[in-house]
Amino acid sequence: MTALLELKDAMIRFGGLVAVKDLNFSVNEGELFGLIGPNGAGKTTVFNLITGVYAPTSGTILFDGKPVQGRKPHQICGAGIARTFQNIRLFPDMTVLENVMVSRHMRKTQGLAGAVLRSAAFLREEAEFRTDAMRLLELFQMEKFADEHASNLPYGSQRRLEIARALATKPRLLLLDEPAAGMNPQESADLMRLIRRLRDEFKVSILLVEHNMKVVMGVCERIQVLVHGEGIAVGEPAAIRKDPRVIEAYLGKE
């Protein structure tokens, strides 16, 4: 297996606070990779580094062998990394279908003139965006909400819509920031099935930040543990569960 995403000595400093320090890990093609750690460990900061919200103070981030650190979020999305957000960030006043269709905008081929003149090619592309988005919604069993405003969806469906919207950008790597937050056990179990299915059907690698250990241990093939911005252990779920350093970070020393 080849590494799709590779962090090399990634470091970011906010004033006097080193939020992420010399972090090294890699996510392989087609892998389900977990990133865990206590509150404030810097997990979301790592996501923001990878997706270009922040530029690392030093170190490199390689995606598909090419450095992407310091590039703008939309460029990184265009390169094939899509994400969801810990606090849901949908487009609340747009319909569910439109939320998903937005993700296709960067891959459009028709210009403004086509849109104003309603050229045949433009209409064809719009129809294609619509059917594609609809197909994705069907896969998430949300097609019946297509014309509903995103803000009217129940919480769990909003989370699923965020994943659908991220997938519509046709990523090779999908970053999920606490997808199971606020879900009941039934919904988390559904989510785990969904994550595995996405990997198999869309051939995406998935990097997951999650606090729900049942979900992380159940779905991830490898896990990186982050404490105070430093990577302290990486390995398979069974090994991580027994690692004394991890237990100490979460529960303290006896």
Largest CA distance in the chain: 72
Residue 251 CB-density burial (10 A; 0-12 exposed, 13-18 middle, 19+ buried):
exposed
Smallest distance, another protein to C-beta of residue 248, A: 35
Report how many residues bind another protein under the rule CB under 8 A. Answer: 44
Smallest distance, another protein to C-beta of residue 191, A: 20
Contact criterion met (CB below 8 Å) for 11 and 60: no
User: Residue 14 has which token pair?
Assistant: 């906010």
230 binds another protein (CB under 8 A): no
Nearest to 100 by CA among 109, 85, 108, 90: 90
Site residues (CB under 8 A) for another protein, limited to 29-58: 51, 53
Among 38, 70, 73, 218, interactor with another protein by CB under 8 A: 73
The total number of residues written for the chain in this structure: 254
94 binds another protein (CB under 8 A): yes
Give whichever of 127 and 239 is closer to another protein, judged by the CB atom. Answer: 127
Q: How far apart are CA 162 and CA 169, in angstroms?
A: 12
91 binds another protein (CB under 8 A): yes
CA torsion 176-177-179-180 (nearest 10°) is: 140
101 binds another protein (CB under 8 A): yes
Contact criterion met (CB below 8 Å) for 175 and 84: yes
Binding part of the chain for another protein, among 3-11, 57-65, 142-150, 230-238 by CB under 8 A, reads 142-150
181 binds another protein (CB under 8 A): no
Cα–Cα distances in Å, from 204 out to 3, 13, 82, 220, 248?
Answer: 13, 31, 10, 14, 33
Give whichever of 84 and 188 is closer to another protein, judged by the CB atom. Answer: 84
Contact criterion met (CB below 8 Å) for 28 and 39: no
Binding part of the chain for another protein, among 2-10, 34-42, 117-125, 215-223 by CB under 8 A, reads 117-125
Among 3, 11, 115, 247, interactor with another protein by CB under 8 A: 115
Nearest to 63 by CA among 167, 174, 152, 139: 174
Binding part of the chain for another protein, among 10-18, 31-39, 78-86, 185-193 by CB under 8 A, reads 78-86
Smallest distance, another protein to C-beta of residue 125, A: 8
Binding site for another protein (CB under 8 A): 51, 53, 72-74, 77-78, 82-83, 85, 89-95, 98, 101-108, 110, 112, 115-118, 122, 125-126, 129, 147-149, 151-152, 165-166, 169
